[in-house]
Structure 1
Amino acid sequence: MLKLPLELPSFYWSQNKTAIDIKVKDWIEQRLPNSDESLLEKQWDIVLLGAPLSRSSISASAASEFPDHFRKMWKGFGTYNIDTDQDLRDLRVLDLGDIEMHVTDISKCHSNIKKVMNGVSKSFSESLIFTIGGDHSITAMLVSGLKDVDPSKKIGILQFDTHLDLRDLKDQGPSNGTPIRNLIESGIVEGENVYNIGLHGFFNGPSLISYAKEQKVNYITLKQARKKGIMETVQDALLELEAKVDFIYVTIDMDVLDISYAPGVPASTPGGMSTTELFEAVYTAGTSSKIRAVDIVCLDPNRDLAVQPTVKAGVHTFLSFVSGLMNKQV
């Protein structure tokens, strides 16, 4: 087995792989207590990780609960995408389980995240790695783990977010408000290779804008993206990144959605993306041949409404990206 701080998925589904119309729960392979070594030796298009950490969140958050809620929602989605006329069941996806977290030691949690990403990216070098958070602090650790595999490789960041996440590390430490600054100041990512799409409203101060400009961060407001077109904006960002970097990391902060679409987000705001816009954006991102890893962060199921619209949006976001990835392979 993988000698990494990884726990088996804490929620399992019984599967029916013979049905004509299968659900996501019947499609994604899960690492079970009785799984043998051969499961880890197979070729997978996507490997899934859970990173259930939210103690490093600036605002109170139970984003650590999202990986489990994400898995439990699989029964509500089929593998066929009517919008693209694709059946995702043709892709091979393995759920490796959750990265081990310490109850109180955030630095230990971050160390485990970095170690797991490093080990998984080596063991599954041909697979796209998709992590379900967790708060946004996990992104800096995941990208750091990826960088350690081959320090000579240049990494680009495509970020969907309401916030720049460039707060000062001296004030905030490695929290969910600092992951992009953390990556820039540690020399892992160059500011000019960060593209943030979705900023809007009154949620980023002048000091952060000044730092972004100083570091040549590419930030595109939601107003600008809508004027140009969401798909066109993402396509242009990808074209620029693909010309500059060896591979791209996509981070999706669910607070990029308008509060009416995402009540289960701690830092939800008015004026954000609609779910349709986000699904279109991540689908477009999925078509890039240079995407190496993706995360979805900052979704707190405990804040969600009874029918869990935000959790459903999170699963739909994952499936939309995978649809784009499949389109790339067609």
Structure 2
Amino acid sequence: MSFNYLQPGKPAVFKDRFTTKVTECIKPYESGDRGAVGILGLPASKSSISMSMAAEAPQAIRKALGSYSTFSATKNHDFKDDVLIDFGDVSVHPTDVEATLDRLHVSVGEMLETEACERYIMLGGDHGVSFPSIHAFQKKFGRVGILQWDAHHDVRNLDDGGRTNGTPFRSLIEGGVIRGEDLVQIGIRDYSNAAAYDDYCEEKGIHVYTMDDLDQQGILQVVEKELQRLADQVDVIYLSVDMDAVDQAFAPGCPAIGPGGFTSRELLSSVRAAAMHEKVKAMDIVEIDPSKDVRAITSRLAAHVMLRFMYK
């Protein structure tokens, strides 16, 4: 039997014949597929030192992508023919954080072994997911340089609670996965860190830019300068975007919100500038708790961050 208006199994969504939404370009991975960008969900947040349901963020961000079209007026180009391959979400361990980290590491590595895409986006989860993800990229590609948008250093000690969302970059450095001089921290805020961790960053040679530094030097100038420096010494560059680098007015759905961060435009323009570099291979987006968000403001911003990375 045919129906006039019923669409069994499908939502009643308005369709404009001239508009392609980003979600229409996403297809689940199948063996042999090739696409412009691969997407992988890392839905882990049990290691968060504050109450967080960031494990729900990958699905919330994917849903937010459905609000946007593939056309860029700035570039005067429609990206509707770009295939985005979705590798799904990693099945995490229900109680064991270390087992979850291992599953994330294995899964990112398996995705990379498909060689299905030129670039990849990992959707966290809390910032702890960056440790296994970056480790997998280091195993596949060699020396990794990192641009980290963040209010916090995330180099906390491992004695007070083990591996958490506050330890990923200390874990990477202490594990010999990355070198301190290959890590650039952008947007570190006052009254959000401890003096001991500021000292640790200096000791390890991490390039740290506070919000005051960026006010004086300009975020785009800093990004361009550090990309040029990293490109001379690393094999690939990985962008790690902690959404709490953004001011609480623009990202209310972060577990660790605070004032004095980036505007949404500053985040988007700086990610776009970084994504243009040929050595930038990957990006993760972390620290969104959809249960704390307001009208999906933070997830929608994260979706726009993805667009700036995908449609460079």
Shorter chain as normaliser: what TM range? over 0.9
Where does residue 3 of structure 1 map in the other structure?
Answer: none
2:47–2:165 CA contact under 8 A, matched in 1: yes
- Tell whether 2:31 aligns with 1:43: no
Unpaired segments of 5 or more residues in structure 2?
Answer: 1-9
After TM superposition, list the pairs within 5 Å mapping 1:136-151 onto structure 2.
136-149=127-140
Post-superposition CA distance 1:20-39 (Å, at most 9, x none):
210112122234xxxxxxx3
Indicate how the Cα distance of structure 1 residues 243 and 103 shifts in structure 2: closer, same or farther if over 3 A, else same: same
| In structure 2, C-alpha distance between the alignment counterparts of 1:158 and 1:44, rounded to whole Å | 24
Post-superposition CA distance 1:77-124 (Å, at most 9, x none):
111122333323232211110011111111111111000111111112
Q: TM-score, normalised by structure 1?
A: 0.87
Where does residue 183 of structure 1 map in the other structure?
Answer: 172
- Tell whether 2:307 aligns with 1:316: no
1:301 to 290, 304, 310: 290
Where does residue 5 of structure 1 map in the other structure?
Answer: none
After TM superposition, list the pairs within 5 Å mapping 1:110-259 onto structure 2.
110-124=101-115, 126-149=117-140, 153-259=142-248
Query: Identity of paired residues, percent?
Result: 32
Unpaired segments of 5 or more residues in structure 1?
Answer: 1-11, 32-38, 325-330
Indicate how the Cα distance of structure 1 residues 315 and 242 shifts in structure 2: closer, same or farther if over 3 A, else same: same
2:37–2:120 CA contact under 8 A, matched in 1: yes
Where does residue 21 of structure 2 map in the other structure?
Answer: 23
User: Aligned-residue CA RMSD in angstroms?
Assistant: 2.0
- Tell whether 2:96 aligns with 1:105: yes
Indicate how the Cα distance of structure 1 residues 15 and 24 shifts in structure 2: closer, same or farther if over 3 A, else same: farther
- Give the aligned residue type for 1:171: D
- Give the aligned residue type for 2:180: G
Task: State the shift of 1:249 in Å.
Answer: 1.1
1:286–1:323 CA contact under 8 A, matched in 2: no
Where does residue 262 of structure 1 map in the other structure?
Answer: 251
- Give the aligned residue type for 2:58: P
Task: State the shift of 1:18 in Å.
Answer: 9.7
Q: Larger Rg: 1 or 2?
A: 2
Indicate how the Cα distance of structure 1 residues 13 and 296 shifts in structure 2: closer, same or farther if over 3 A, else same: farther
Post-superposition CA distance 1:278-302 (Å, at most 9, x none):
0001001110111122100000000
Indicate how the Cα distance of structure 1 residues 15 and 117 shifts in structure 2: closer, same or farther if over 3 A, else same: farther
Q: TM-score, normalised by structure 2?
A: 0.92
| In structure 1, C-alpha distance between the alignment counterparts of 2:284 and 2:226, rounded to whole Å | 18
Task: State the shift of 1:224 in Å.
Answer: 1.5
| In structure 2, C-alpha distance between the alignment counterparts of 1:13 and 1:295, rounded to whole Å | 30
- Tell whether 2:56 aligns with 1:65: yes
SS at match of 1:59: coil
Indicate how the Cα distance of structure 1 residues 94 and 299 shifts in structure 2: closer, same or farther if over 3 A, else same: same
| In structure 1, C-alpha distance between the alignment counterparts of 2:211 and 2:75, rounded to whole Å | 25
